């Protein structure tokens, strides 16, 4: 099980800190299989929910190593930041993806076989089983899996991305959507990623060698040009001085937010509001939010009002606001994704708190990652 509570994540970070320099740089691409992912941090589920924040993770790493030694690990943390900023300035990409999912797909035998992990390609079917059983895949395996799905099996990338979002405990709308688009050749126009049998054999340490089974001569999918970067959405600001603090899986570290007013209470929203997800993913969301609520309640001396229903969450939330005397809700900024889609239609006044880490980095995600990467020393200097 991936760490999702703050205590679990801090313990994992402390244990992995000695390995965030040369060990990580040399071994991070090796997928040794389920229960053997010790060459990577496995902090992604905690970072995705911000029970552990990116800036404190980077600061801890730099407390153990110099930047040059730990540069590769730090870059991987910033990849997640880059993806979020890139999508935040191009929300139509997310809207188009969601519309495709809602429209559905023709249930061909090939699609059903891939969705059920019975393609006959041993590595692909094994990764599918690992995904369902553990709600996790090594990042390299995710790339191989997506490439086989798109380029070998010829299946819609959106259907594969949806499979990942349903089952990945660290599934992030930006990283997942844009990662699949990158493999397809839509993100970096004309440059698709092709899984190669030789590469899989090397980086699975010989567990798999799918020679003759893969389409290795891949071509980018056709699609419209990426939209130009828009101005970043401004965080909502409500009037009033009696906020109810609301926690979602987008950010479960409310005690590190700079709130303009003392909250009158705290609650977490039901994990199921983000749509149908695997039971293990929903359980991880609930654990992270319960942990976040407990810490926020202790930090701000608040009553925890959690426990509202999925079916009547808006009515329950409004009733709690009346009961607690709240005149608006306050929460961490909700980036483009399921939770923003859900909450943007909610009619109650709300204030969002955009973290300085995001405000600093997101504006530089207008182009490719390499121009963004050049700014990382500048970002770090401001931590």
Mean pLDDT of 71-93: 98
Mean pLDDT of 369-381: 96
Q: Is the pLDDT of residue 15 over 90?
A: yes
Mean pLDDT of 117-145: 98
What domains are defined for the chain?
Answer: 1-90+356-383 (1.25.40), 101-203 (1.10.579.10), 243-353 (3.40.50)
Predicted local distance difference test score (pLDDT) of residue 1: 77
Q: How many helices, marked H, and strands, marked E, lie in the chain?
A: 18, 4
Q: Is the pLDDT of residue 107 over 80?
A: yes
Predicted local distance difference test score (pLDDT) of residue 383: 83
In this structure, are residues 357 and 55 in contact, taking their beta carbons and an 8 Å threshold? yes
pLDDT band at 382 (very low <50, low <70, confident <90, very high): confident
Mean pLDDT of 198-217: 98
Q: Tell me the residue ranges of DSSP E strands in 116-211.
A: none
Q: Tens digits of per-residue pLDDT, 284-337?
A: 999 999 999 999 999 999 999 999 999 999 999 999 999 999 999 999 999 999
Looking only at the bridges linking them, the beta strands covering 265-268 and 350-353 are unpaired
Compute the distance between CA of residue 194 and CA of residue 307 in angstroms, rounded to an integer: 46
Helix residue ranges per DSSP H, 214-278: none
Write out the two tokens for 23.
């060990």
Mean pLDDT of 350-379: 97
Report field, pTM of the whole predicted structure over 0.85: yes
Predicted local distance difference test score (pLDDT) of residue 22: 96
Q: Three-state SS for 383?
A: coil
Predicted local distance difference test score (pLDDT) of residue 232: 98
Predicted local distance difference test score (pLDDT) of residue 286: 97
Q: Tens digits of per-residue pLDDT, 161-175?
A: 999 999 999 999 999
In this structure, are residues 257 and 355 in contact, taking their beta carbons and an 8 Å threshold? yes
Long-range contacts of 224-230 (CB under 8 A, 24+ apart): 225/189, 226/90, 226/93, 226/186, 226/187, 226/189, 227/90, 227/92, 227/93, 229/86, 229/89, 229/90, 229/365, 229/366, 230/89, 230/90, 230/91
Predicted local distance difference test score (pLDDT) of residue 172: 97
**377: exposed, middle or buried (C-beta count within 10 Å: 0-12, 13-18, 19+)?**
exposed
* Percentage above 90 pLDDT, the chain: 97
- Return mean pLDDT, the chain: 97
* Percentage above 70 pLDDT, the chain: 100
pLDDT band at 276 (very low <50, low <70, confident <90, very high): confident
In this structure, are residues 84 and 118 in contact, taking their beta carbons and an 8 Å threshold? no
In this structure, are residues 3 and 11 in contact, taking their beta carbons and an 8 Å threshold? yes
pLDDT band at 275 (very low <50, low <70, confident <90, very high): confident
Predicted local distance difference test score (pLDDT) of residue 63: 97
């Amino acid at each position: 099980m991936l760490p999702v509570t703050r205590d679990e994540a801090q313990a994992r970070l402390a244990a992995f800190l000695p390995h965030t320099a040369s060990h990580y740089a040399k071994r991070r691409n090796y997928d040794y299989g389920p229960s053997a992912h010790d060459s990577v941090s496995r902090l992604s589920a905690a970072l995705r929910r911000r029970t552990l924040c990116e800036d404190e993770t980077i600061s801890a790493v730099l407390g153990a190593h110099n930047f040059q030694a730990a540069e590769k690990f730090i870059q991987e943390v910033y990849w997640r930041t880059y993806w979020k900023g890139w999508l935040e300035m191009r929300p139509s990409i997310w809207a188009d993806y969601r519309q495709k999912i809602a429209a559905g797909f023709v249930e061909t035998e090939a699609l059903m076989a891939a969705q059920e992990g019975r393609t006959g390609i041993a590595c692909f079917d094994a990764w599918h089983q690992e995904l369902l059983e553990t709600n996790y895949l090594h990042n390299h395996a995710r790339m191989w899996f997506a490439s086989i799905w798109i380029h070998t099996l010829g299946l819609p990338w959106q259907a594969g991305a949806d499979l990942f979002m349903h089952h990945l405990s660290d599934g992030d709308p930006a990283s997942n959507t844009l990662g699949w688009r990158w493999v397809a050749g839509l993100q970096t126009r004309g440059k698709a990623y092709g899984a190669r049998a030789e590469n899989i054999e090397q980086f699975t340490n010989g567990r798999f060698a799918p020679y003759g089974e893969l389409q290795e001569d891949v071509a980018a999918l056709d699609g419209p040009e990426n939209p130009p970067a828009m101005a970043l959405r401004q965080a909502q600001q409500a009037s009033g001085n009696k906020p109810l603090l609301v926690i979602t899986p987008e950010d479960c570290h409310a005690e590190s937010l700079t709130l303009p007013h003392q909250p009158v209470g705290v609650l977490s929203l039901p994990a199921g509001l983000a749509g149908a997800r695997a039971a293990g993913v929903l359980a991880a969301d609930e654990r992270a939010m319960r942990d976040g609520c407990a810490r926020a309640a202790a930090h701000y001396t608040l009553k925890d009002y959690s426990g509202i229903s999925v079916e009547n969450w808006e009515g329950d939330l409004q009733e709690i606001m009346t009961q607690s005397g709240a005149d608006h809700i306050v929460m961490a900024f909700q980036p483009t994704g399921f939770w923003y889609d859900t909450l943007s239609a909610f009619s109650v006044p709300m204030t969002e708190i955009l973290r300085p880490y995001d405000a600093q980095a997101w504006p530089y995600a207008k182009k490719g990652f390499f121009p963004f990467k050049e700014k990382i020393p500048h970002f770090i200097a401001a931590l």
